[in-house]
Structure 1
Amino acid sequence: MIEIVARDRAGAYSEAVDIALPAAKQVSDRWRLLSNLRDNVERLLYRLGPQLRQAAQQVNVSKVTLGRQGILSRNSQRSWERLGDQRRATRMALYKQVMALRAQGGSMKGIGRELSIDQRTVRRFVTGGGLFPERAHKARGPTPLDPYRDYIEERFVQGRRFPELIWQELKQRGYLGSRGSVQNCVTRLLFPLGKTTLVLEPVQTMPIPSAGRVFGWFLGRRNLAIEEPRSADHERFVQALCKIEPVVGEVRSLAREFLGLMHRRSVRHFDRWLKRLSCCDAVEMRRFAQNLCADLPAVRAAFKLQRSNGQTEGHVNRLKLLKRQMHGCANIELLRLRVLKPN
């Protein structure tokens, strides 16, 4: 007779076991418990988006980190100019080849065939009077940014040099265009054509991290999903965030303590931790506490027993792989044979 059932944390699994094996002891999956903790902490961090931005702006990183703050580097700013120069150089080389072949007596049609170019291009080069025909700039029509150019120049003179921040200001004034248009406008103000003496020192602040990264920094070790070791900059960010929003410090302490309890399998300390979690100021943590209390016997069994749902999850993943390999190409009988007789 089945006495212990290791299961996932979904309520449907609990109800199914209660109906089929009412006397069996249920054990909640430990990995799912950690995953549920992470989900609730990330929901809190998503809600604290402005605080994350404020904390990131207070951290001076050890090296220049180009991120969402939109800091421009000289290489990225002049890329559109370099592309135009490369195209002009290629066209100039082609022009010299055409004129050299023409000087040797070649016909326009023959030159076009030899260089694999259109005969009309050859005629344009030859009839240019010995001058390289520069391409005319296309006439630019009105754009959504035109009414705001004076404001951008005014803010530029005042020292506002970051496209991301200017774009945010323009949106508050009714601008509906893209961020790229604002960046191009600021780029031309920073690096006018023919003037390369202007040097802009970028502000070395941290880009706004994702909620998943911040959760990994909370634990003080490698993230569960992102392989990135924590650095001193990360710790300064966490300290700044805790100072801005004190509830974050409480949530961080609860998360670190829960991870330690899970490793030590301490049921007595878990009960005290659950009481603290139920009184946390963050609504996400109180909901997590309610979720744990609703499945408390199985959660407590996860601390007491060595049983795990890991082997079951492995078989489920293998079954999903086989099913997806045969999607739309076989019936249930073939799937059954591949599961029971993999060789």
Structure 2
Amino acid sequence: MMEGVHPMASEAHPTLLPDSACLHLVCLQAFPRRITAVVATTFPQAQCPVCLHSSEKVHSRYTRLVADLPWMGWAVQLDLHTRRFFCQNPECSRRIFTERLPTVVAPYARRTNRLTDVFTLIGFALGGEAGKRLVAGMGLSSSPDTLLRLIERAPETAHATPRVLGVDDWSFRRGRKFGTILIDLEKRIPIELLPDREASSLAKWLQEHPGVEIISRDRGGSYADGATLGAPQAQQVADRWHILKNLGEALEGFFISKKSHLKAAMLDPTGVATNPSPLQESPMGNTRRLEEVSRERHQEKVEMYRKIHELHAKKVHQGIIAQLVGTSRQTVTRYIHMDQPPERRTPRRTRTHLLEPFKPYLIERWNDGCRNASELYREIVKRGYAASMSNVSRFLKNLRTTKGKPRGFKQVEPTPEAIATKKDAQVRRPPTALQVARWMSFTEEQRLDWQNAYLIRLCEADPIIAQTFSLIQDFATMLRERQGERLDTWLKQVESQEVAELKNFARGLQKDYDAVKAGLTLSWSQGPVEGHVHRLKLLKRQMYGKASFETLRKRVLQCS
């Protein structure tokens, strides 16, 4: 059998009967939604389960009803005619024993071994409730608890001690109860789940499994302590993504203190608020890479549209078109009925604001000289507006900032300088401090054009921000290109500058110096670990409150 293939997916059961070597089909009996196969054993002798002595002397016969694999949604039942034998060993304590069929059914079982294997696979894949529904669709019946018991009884697979170990925590109950997942980073498989995230638990596991050479972890102190206690010889590696995340969080306070500069940078040198294009709506900003991916996918759809219409014009059947193009038949039908290729969707859509339909009217009234938010609110309520007046107040505040007096609320005479357009009303909120810190860690190619222009204005407005931006870029480059040998030089540069938040971040790196330098040098990361944590969460949520630690552990480790 091929490695990694379950017995039920192999050629271990190529015949109608579970084991044609020991069973003989007598007849088939059909009932409503059920088929009964009458089968009899064929071996001339049987082995005593106590003394293992073979016997040919039959005592009596009896029948067992055993559920087997369904046939096309019809339940199948084996009416198994088997025998009892006399044990002819005078020293054996058992005088009569029943015939054992280890390749067909376990003693006292009501299901064949192969049906139990299928139920076990369903339990591992779907859990209790969802597994029960699938079993019912197959024409069988089983309770959720039965499927969970099969998971608990399944044998565990022994794993060799990994050379490179990934460690991370996961939440069994969000904010209250946590566990630890251990991943073999070379094989990218989970090897153990621990019931907590204490340093002592990790240290104990490492002591019981000597031989770990590299331990990848986040910046959490408990895992650093546990790795030091359990495997002091192992090289600890701090995850690069977490290091960069810590840098952004550390600088959030600094950029909060520069809030006035963040707002001022939203205006270009002429004093007009900058407005990104419609494809750049999110303040977090779609990166240039996401924009390029969106365009590439759209081009693939256009090319698919062209091929489908060419084949359809040649009278090719839709099913064949789907096979040639590599898509579903439903997609082929939808594209055939399109008059033109599908339009490209924006990478991130924003919902329509409640005030949006009334903005043209508000701009018209502004240009007439009305500056009173309460009066305009009453007017648009009569036109169908159903939200609060605060939206109207914020809208007029933006217009006062660009086209009027900041504190002007009285009716005025219209002037050419105060005429507003829809573009003037689309003033964006400045990005948050955390967003600016995140943008500064991007490469220029990853940022959108308006984000690059914003950061240039921000650095020109404050030399300390410009210096901080340079240090962030230098650190991010060192992290991406794994230039750990430059870490000492960067730490010295940070100590000579003025930003206290950046100094505190650098001192935190010095406390975990060896692991951070290894993270900036070696290729290992927490990527595979985070992927298995996401899978663990999916399995946990499938189990509808019955996810005991042992059951969840079995399901998580089963993929390995």
TM range (shorter): 0.5 to 0.7
User: 1:73: Cα distance to partner?
Assistant: 4.5
User: Which of these residues, 214, 236, 239, is aligned with residue 436 of structure 2?
Assistant: 214
Q: Is the aligned partner of 1:41 residue 2:251? A: yes
Matches within 5 A, 1:12-161: 12-58=222-268, 60=272, 61=274, 73-75=359-361, 81=379, 84-85=382-383
Structure 1 residues 327 and 167, CA gap change in structure 2 (3 angstroms): farther
Structure 1 residues 161 and 259, CA gap change in structure 2 (3 angstroms): closer
Q: Which amino acid aligns with 1:308?
A: S
- Greater share of residues in helix: 1
Q: Which amino acid aligns with 1:209?
A: P
Other-structure match for 2:400: 162
Check conservation: 1:45, 1:211, Cα contact below 8 A: yes
Specify the SS of the correspondent of 2:215. Answer: strand
User: 1:327: Cα distance to partner?
Assistant: 5.3
Check conservation: 2:216, 2:525, Cα contact below 8 A: yes
Q: Is the aligned partner of 1:309 residue 2:526? A: yes
Structure 1 residues 49 and 335, CA gap change in structure 2 (3 angstroms): same
Structure 1 residues 302 and 22, CA gap change in structure 2 (3 angstroms): same
What TM-score results when the alignment is normalised by the length of structure 1? 0.58
User: 1:302: Cα distance to partner?
Assistant: 1.5
Structure 1 residues 241 and 85, CA gap change in structure 2 (3 angstroms): closer
User: Which of these residues, 489, 511, 517, is aligned with residue 300 of structure 1?
Assistant: 517
User: Which of these residues, 234, 246, 255, is aligned with residue 463 of structure 2?
Assistant: 246
User: 1:6: Cα distance to partner?
Assistant: 1.0
Distance (whole Å) between structure 1 residues aligned to residue 502 and residue 254 of structure 2: 8
User: 1:163: Cα distance to partner?
Assistant: 7.9
User: Which of these residues, 219, 222, 245, is aligned with residue 9 of structure 1?
Assistant: 219
User: Which of these residues, 218, 221, 230, is aligned with residue 448 of structure 2?
Assistant: 230
Q: Is the aligned partner of 1:262 residue 2:479? A: yes
Structure 1 residues 204 and 82, CA gap change in structure 2 (3 angstroms): closer
Distance (whole Å) between structure 2 residues aligned to residue 284 and residue 166 of structure 1: 39
Gapped regions of structure 2 (runs ≥ 5): 1-210, 284-357, 365-375, 386-392
Structure 1 residues 341 and 205, CA gap change in structure 2 (3 angstroms): closer
**Deviations 1:233-261, CA, capped at 9 Å, x for gaps:** 43343233223321111111011111211
Identity %: 29
Structure 1 residues 236 and 313, CA gap change in structure 2 (3 angstroms): closer
User: 1:304: Cα distance to partner?
Assistant: 2.7
User: 1:55: Cα distance to partner?
Assistant: 2.4
User: 1:200: Cα distance to partner?
Assistant: 3.1
Structure 1 residues 278 and 63, CA gap change in structure 2 (3 angstroms): closer
Distance (whole Å) between structure 2 residues aligned to residue 290 and residue 167 of structure 1: 48
Other-structure match for 2:105: none
Distance (whole Å) between structure 1 residues aligned to residue 490 and residue 276 of structure 2: 39
Distance (whole Å) between structure 2 residues aligned to residue 2 and residue 67 of structure 1: 44
Distance (whole Å) between structure 2 residues aligned to residue 276 and residue 33 of structure 1: 18
Check conservation: 2:275, 2:427, Cα contact below 8 A: no
What TM-score results when the alignment is normalised by the length of structure 2? 0.38
Check conservation: 1:323, 1:335, Cα contact below 8 A: yes
Structure 1 residues 85 and 275, CA gap change in structure 2 (3 angstroms): closer
Q: Which amino acid aligns with 1:42?
A: E
Check conservation: 1:278, 1:290, Cα contact below 8 A: no
User: 1:160: Cα distance to partner?
Assistant: 10
Other-structure match for 2:127: none
User: 1:214: Cα distance to partner?
Assistant: 2.4
Tell me how many residue pairs correspond in the alignment.
Answer: 247
Structure 1 residues 310 and 161, CA gap change in structure 2 (3 angstroms): closer
**Deviations 1:264-316, CA, capped at 9 Å, x for gaps:** 22232222112112222111100110010000001111133222222222222
Distance (whole Å) between structure 1 residues aligned to residue 559 and residue 521 of structure 2: 35
Q: Which amino acid aligns with 1:312?
A: V
User: Which of these residues, 253, 267, 289, is aligned with residue 506 of structure 2?
Assistant: 289
Distance (whole Å) between structure 2 residues aligned to residue 62 and residue 164 of structure 1: 13
Check conservation: 1:67, 1:207, Cα contact below 8 A: no
Distance (whole Å) between structure 2 residues aligned to residue 191 and residue 85 of structure 1: 25
User: Which of these residues, 302, 305, 320, is aligned with residue 537 of structure 2?
Assistant: 320
User: 1:322: Cα distance to partner?
Assistant: 2.1
Check conservation: 2:250, 2:501, Cα contact below 8 A: yes
**Deviations 1:194-222, CA, capped at 9 Å, x for gaps:** xxxx8435388664122344235433447
Specify the SS of the correspondent of 2:216. Answer: strand
Structure 1 residues 323 and 204, CA gap change in structure 2 (3 angstroms): closer
Question: Which structure's CA Rg is the greater one?
Answer: 2
**Deviations 1:108-146, CA, capped at 9 Å, x for gaps:** xxxxxxxxxxxxxxxxxxxxxxxxxxxxxxxxxxxxxxx
Check conservation: 1:29, 1:308, Cα contact below 8 A: yes
User: Which of these residues, 406, 413, 420, is aligned with residue 200 of structure 1?
Assistant: 420
